[in-house]
Chain A
Amino acid sequence: MQPFIEIINVSKSYSDYKALNNVSFNVPKQSIFGLLGPNGAGKTTLIRILNQITAPDEGRIMFDGTPLSPKHVSMIGYLPEERGLYKKMKVGEQAVYLAQLKGLDAKTAEKRLKYWFGKFEIGSWWNKKVEELSKGMQQKVQFIVTVIHEPKLLIFDEPFSGFDPINVNLLKNEILNLRDKGATILFSTHNMASVEELCDNIMLINKGKMLLEGSVTEIKQQFKNNIFELAIQNFSEEIHIPDYYRITYCDKNQNGVTHLKIQTDKDTDSNELITSILKTGRLVSFQELLPSINDIFIKQINDKNNSQI
């Protein structure tokens, strides 16, 4: 399937440093794509290039098969990390204004906004000034104006910051909903838990360079350490297991269950491991330990930074 967004050899320099250095990756259609990286890695620059706020020095961007151009502006919804609305303007009026800037006519905008305001239970705030709203409410309004023109590409920069857990859940469901309706979602975050929960694909960037890219499951496979976690009832230590299974952790608890961590070689078949281990006792649970995206993130960034020193 053709990727929805293709970033091809994109570079961007500011006067004294390289914000993006030959970055290429694809965002598949109707997926949630996580853009990860420490502060100052180049995420914002990349997002601004996609929003056509700035232009790349080199490279191309394809949007659904055509080169990115101003006509795509109305197909993109952008929620920046730094939220902001006109404080003195009325909520409804402001939402209509921002929707109009994205190319909706006032009537359609109003109709859709009423629907969303109802859904987020903020309908009664239509005629209030933004400064009278709580921070969470302002965030809701901002989210609504981001999606109001039903964009094909949604760019969320730290969408969950500033929301309470209940609203984070509401938002997550909305994001998944939007994807199911056909939107492609790009989101940049430091919240690794939400990445594992939501993202289909990720890419990791540091100091303008891309470190890795791929689907979340693939990347986890790629970085796994071949450690299996097992729980065995009546574990007998006398029975020999092959040497290439290294037991890295062993803890026997009161009701006769022993927890083990076993590290194996790269190409070990888990069935083989189970066969060997079954002799030692009754298997209660078996699971391959995969690294969290958080671990991969920290390890990758640190490795890179250390290798440069």
Chain B
Amino acid sequence: MKIGIIIKREYLTRVRKRSFVIMTILTPILFAALMFLPTILMNNSEKFDKKRTIVVNDETGFFNGKFKNTDVHTFIFEDKDIESLKELVEQEVYDGILYIPSTSLNLPVNAKLYSKKALPITLSSYLENIMKQELQKQKLLASGIDPALVKAANVDINITSVRFDENNEEKNIYNILEMFLGLGFGLLIYMVIFMFGNQVMSGVIEEKTNRIVEVIVSSVKPFELMMGKIIGTALVGLTQFMIWIVLTLLIYSAGMLAITPHEMISTGMMNEQAVTTDSRQMIVNAMEMANSINFKGILFCFLLYFIGGYMLYAALFAAIGSFVDNETDKQQFVLPISLPLLFVMVCCTMIINNPDSSFATWLSIIPFTSPVAMMMRIPYGVPYWQITLSVALLVVTFVFITWVAAKIYRTGILMYGKKTTYKEIWKWLKY
């Protein structure tokens, strides 16, 4: 099959390009670096730091012995005046001074934390937290209320969204996660359609401008050449996704092993007091959240809509590439066909906020907008009939568009040095 030879060439030349290799390998690594590096760096820097000693001059007397020593901080209470304490910091006996001037219970506490070098921000938030708790306790006691009573009166409110289906199977819903997934996949499919569509177009333009196209269409049908190009580029895209998924999983698991909950604490990601129970709870929550999402289903739909949406737009891009000679002409024709997808991106907040509105539903069924709009809705759960209808329409449209594009393409690639107008393209369609 000659189309196979064309697909092979398209695939190999693109995959062997340096830019492809760099993009494919570097993207997940960069992404992971952005996610994990700050944590790892902060974490290690604290490990290498020596333990800090903070001297506390508490004129109020409320906080004596209330600051607990931790792995990284030691607290010493001394009543020396500030100037002599500063002297000691100068000599590096202490790393910082917490000065709490005397005040009455009804006035705000204006404490000062002196240091020569910068102290971690987590330290001051920890100090504020303890002082607040302590003073509240004192105030309650002063008003004759038992702090234990107040503690007992604390309540937690949790509203868990639960969705159930026909079989009455219940599923906890995490709106934030669905939103991120919807936006993420919507944006991703938008980007890849344009990225690979553009690659097809520049491939067509390249063949046309260096005139090899005439030799090739004397051996194969223009339709075969166009389809070979589109399919070859699609395979490049799929290869890239596969590598991305595998690399992301690898890096993610490696990263999770490297960052234990204990280390997340020291970087201030969690409250120091409630370390053990909270971190465990968080991991359980995260796993539950992850389980609540049907990742396999989403990935499957992603592939489906990538292929459908890409085929639809790539055929249009190929048709445009066949008759434009220069950059300005290109923009004139690319803009109108990008409008539907741009429109969806502009409306993305409306879709995400109300994924079951009729507006969002229509956008996700109309073929030109459906790849992006449907991917935004899918994490929230979409009825099967809608997906089926939308995919069926997408397939019908892309077959039709490919047919139209092929007609334009086979005339366009043999036209040289003539500026093409919409009127002329209309004529080509009728040949």
Contact = CB atoms under 8 A, between A and B. Distances in A.
Interface of A: 15, 48, 51-54, 73-74, 76, 78, 80, 82-89, 97-98, 100-102, 142, 145
B416 interface: yes
A15 B211 CA distance: 24
Given A15-B427, A73-B219, A80 B214 contact: yes
Contact of B210 (A78, A85, A97, A100): A85
Contacts of B218: 51-53, 73, 76, 78, 80
Nearest to A102: B219
A98 to B, nearest CB: 7
Given A53-B414, A98-B219, A84 B214 contact: yes
B219 A80 contact: no
A84 B413 CA distance: 14
A256 B168 CA distance: 123
B13 A89 contact: yes
Would you call the interface of chain B mostly helix, strand, loop, or mixed? helix
Contacts of B389: none
A91 to B, nearest CB: 13
Contacts of A97: 5, 9
29 contacts: A48-B414, A51-B217, A51-B218, A52-B218, A53-B214, A54-B414, A73-B218, A73-B220, A78-B215, A80-B211, A80-B214, A82-B416, A83-B211, A84-B212, A84-B213, A85-B212, A86-B13, A86-B206, A88-B13, A89-B13, A97-B9, A98-B216, A98-B219, A100-B5, A101-B5, A101-B6, A101-B219, A101-B220, A145-B215
Given A15-B427, A53-B414, A101 B211 contact: no
Contacts of A51: 217-218
B2 interface: yes
A73 B6 CA distance: 16
Contacts of A102: 219
A74 B220 CA distance: 10
A84 B211 contact: yes
Nearest to B6: A101
Contacts of B220: 73, 101
Given A15-B427, A100-B5, A87 B215 contact: no
Interface of B: 2, 5-6, 9, 13, 206-207, 210-220, 222, 414, 416, 427
Contact of A82 (B9, B211, B216): B211
A74 B2 CA distance: 12
A270 B13 CA distance: 68
A4 to B, nearest CB: 18
A5 B102 CA distance: 112
Given A15-B427, A80-B211, A101-B5, 15 more contacts: A53-B214, A73-B218, A73-B220, A76-B218, A78-B215, A80-B215, A82-B416, A84-B213, A85-B212, A86-B210, A87-B210, A88-B13, A97-B5, A98-B219, A100-B5
B212 A53 contact: no
A210 B138 CA distance: 112
Return the 5 tightest CB-CB contacts between A and B, nearest first. Answer: A84-B211, A82-B211, A101-B219, A84-B212, A51-B218
A98 B212 CA distance: 10
Contact of A101 (B216, B414, B427): B216
Given A83-B211, A85-B210, A87-B210, A53 B5 contact: no
B210 A98 contact: no
Contacts of B217: 51, 53
B271 to A, nearest CB: 57
B410 to A, nearest CB: 8
Nearest to B212: A84
A98 B9 CA distance: 10
A236 B34 CA distance: 106
A84 B427 contact: no
Contacts of B9: 97
B205 to A, nearest CB: 13
A304 to B, nearest CB: 26
Could you say which of B13, B216, B222 has the most chain A C-beta atoms within 10 Å of its C-beta?
B13
A150 B219 CA distance: 14
Contacts of A100: 2, 5
A76 B211 CA distance: 19
Contacts of A83: 211
Nearest to A100: B5
A84 B220 CA distance: 16
Contacts of B414: 48, 53-54
A243 to B, nearest CB: 58
